[in-house]
Amino acid sequence: MDFEYEINKWWVSNGDKLIEYADAIIFLLFLIAVLYIFIFSLASLKKTRNKYPPARKKHRFAVLFPAYQEDAVIVNSVCSFLEQDYPSYMYEVIVITDKMQERTVQTLKALPSITVLEAGYAQSTKTNALRLAMDYLSTKTDKCDMVVIMDADNIVNASFLNKLNDAYYSGCLAIQTHRVAKNRNTNT
């Protein structure tokens, strides 16, 4: 009974301090997490863009569009890519069609300076389509310096290949570009 009395007496006199210490420890843990996020969010506000100097040489590109049942968007994407302000003889657009309508394939073949490879694999994968394109490129006599892999619905600026050429000339061996949404007028 005396032991219970001593615990109760200790709790009454020290309980508030114990709660304050626990509260301070929890506050510090949350403060560390919030400060961590705050510091990196402040650092992200500084826009650093890699500005590459203009290249003195134009490199040759192979632009691959693997397209699996992309009849609705592939023609628009390829047509927009052909508007590059890069010399047209310095890049080749290769569309790898897989399970696409014959009308779409014929439309692609009618476009100027487009190579259409038709994949007829039992199991359609992007890897198989890219492998087919790489096999095609290995047989060509005029080799390319860089391979650009696009998605079937990608639309790029007219200066896209010039910027890639500048980055490649500066020493970049692998370049990942940033995708921007088409509808930028929403919060999402």
Query: pLDDT tens digit string along 114-132?
Result: 999 988 777 878 888 999 9
**Is there a contact between 94 and 64 (Cβ–Cβ < 8 Å)?**
yes
Question: Domain range spanning residue 124?
Answer: 61-169
Same domain, 44 and 68: no
Average pLDDT on 172-188 reads: 74
pLDDT at 133: 92
Same domain, 68 and 151: yes
Same domain, 72 and 162: yes
Render 134-167 in DSSP notation, one character per residue: HHHHHH-SS--SEEEE--TT----TTHHHHHHHH
Distance CA 108, CA 175 (A): 27
Residue 9 has pLDDT above 80, yes or no: no
pLDDT at 86: 94
Residue that has been written with the tokens 């060509």 in this structure: 140
Average pLDDT on 155-162 reads: 92
Same domain, 74 and 36: no
Q: Which of left, alpha, beta for 57 (phi over 0: left; psi -120 to 50: alpha)? A: beta
Distance CA 149, CA 81 (A): 12
Same domain, 38 and 68: no
Average pLDDT on 78-104 reads: 92
